[in-house]
Structure 1
Amino acid sequence: MEDFEKKVTITDADSNSMEVDNGCDPSKIVNLLRSFLRIQQTRAHAYAKLKQGFTEYMVSRGESAYQKLCSEITVEFSECSKQVLEMESLFLSPDCFRDDLAHLLRAVQEQEKQKLQLTATIQVLKKAGRPSERLVSHENCRFKKHMEHECVHVNEITEAAGTEEAEADAEYDNALKEAIRGVQDAVTSINEHLEEVRYEIAALEGD
């Protein structure tokens, strides 16, 4: 591993001479970049499935089906990341040294990780719901007659209690907005990087 790192840790001057000496095959680069775009399509489809599955969960509350879907999506994303890491290694190999493209793929990987983490955060927040709107469980209440009980949740509404609930709602809303904004920023960044990839493909095919 150390020997490999020594090979790829070179100066800009060495990099330029390597590209001239090896004449990095444009068709090989194009094939790798097109494969990368296909992986991004796979990720997009996985996100679509996750979104649909979560929408269905919010209606049915089918926990087992939702958890099964999350496990499948996790495996799918993991496989995509593994393939991209292999591409990064190929771009850094002596046969085709393009550290700029390796860094481009790495930037997309980091944004995809951020997007996935924030998507999970959004779903967790939506599952919980706003504090003031969460359903109350009556399992600890005392039932006096059939369909009648003394609800332990009934208490005097005080100014302090109202303020506390409003603060909890505001904190929840801010957390949700921040996560949504983070996903939107990640998507924008990813799309910009993908445009760079497409531009590189067009440039290589035009040579």
Structure 2
Amino acid sequence: MEDFEKKLSITEAMEVEENGSDSTKIIHLLRKFLGIQQRRAETYAKLKRGFSEYMVSGGELAYQQLCSEITVEFNDCSKQVIEMESLFMHPDYCRVDLAKILRAVQTQEKQKLHLTATIQMLKKAGRPSERLVSHENCRYRKAAEHECLHLHEITEATGTEDAEANAEYDNALKEAIRGVQDAVTAINEHLEEIRYEIAALETE
């Protein structure tokens, strides 16, 4: 059903392209692009919710399934934007400026997705000093007590190592979060340019 709807909207787009004036065609494509960006935003919200649920429940399978669905969704959005970009490059449109904006958004979206995955991986692993220790290789004397192989004297050197590992982790997380924020800012600026372009074309 979704495929049929997608084909229908593509057919509608083609009809508008054939029948409408140049500015009508451009407005239609730009509105379609803004719709795709809205879809991307909703997909990110779904990913964020799913990850929060995973962190609480630890349901690995459900989280993997969600990641697969989201990958398909993002790939579909990218494919549609690339098609629009090539249309704007076409002599019928000759709007290289708009193609460049779409290309810039694509680049930022790719960066945002990569860094979002990095943030989730880091949060999943946890800070080095707070990671859970597995006791499967420890020696058991009685059922109730075991000799833990992980207990070691906390020396100045191991304390420094732990602090360094934590600092490295914190920096990596901060850097990824800052990178996502920068990408979002850049994307929003480009979307504002698109909205101005639509408004300008509508007043022609």
- Please, what TM-score do these two structures have when normalized by structure 2? 0.89
CA deviation after TM superposition for structure 1 residue 146, in Å: 1.5
Matched, 1:113 2:110: yes
Residue in 2 aligned with 1:21?
none
Residue in 2 aligned with 1:13?
none
Matched, 1:27 2:24: yes
Matched, 1:37 2:41: no
Distance 1:187 1:195 in 2: 12
CA deviation after TM superposition for structure 1 residue 174, in Å: 0.1
Matched, 1:179 2:169: no
Distance 1:90 1:161 in 2: 59
Amino acid at match of 1:92: M
Matched, 1:134 2:134: no
Residue in 2 aligned with 1:149?
146
Unaligned 5+ segments in structure 1 are 1-23
RMSD of equivalent CA atoms = 0.6
Distance 1:147 1:41 in 2: 56
Distance 1:71 1:56 in 2: 16
Moved over 6 A (4+): none
| Structure 1 counterpart of 2:163, from 163, 166, 175 | 166
Residue in 1 aligned with 2:13?
none
Matched, 1:71 2:86: no
Residue in 2 aligned with 1:95?
92
Cα deviation digits, residues 140-169 of structure 1 (max 9, x gap): 011111220000001111000000000000
Moved more, 171-180 or 139-148: 139-148
Amino acid at match of 1:27: T
Moved more, 176-185 or 143-152: 143-152
More relative contact order, 1 or 2 (CA 8 Å, 6+ apart):
1
Distance 1:186 1:162 in 2: 36
Amino acid at match of 2:84: M
Matched, 1:54 2:54: no
| Structure 1 counterpart of 2:82, from 68, 82, 85 | 85
Unaligned 5+ segments in structure 2 are 1-20
- Please, what TM-score do these two structures have when normalized by structure 1? 0.88
Amino acid at match of 2:46: K
Amino acid at match of 2:181: Q
Count of matched residue positions in the alignment of Structure 1 and Structure 2: 184
Distance 1:89 1:141 in 2: 61
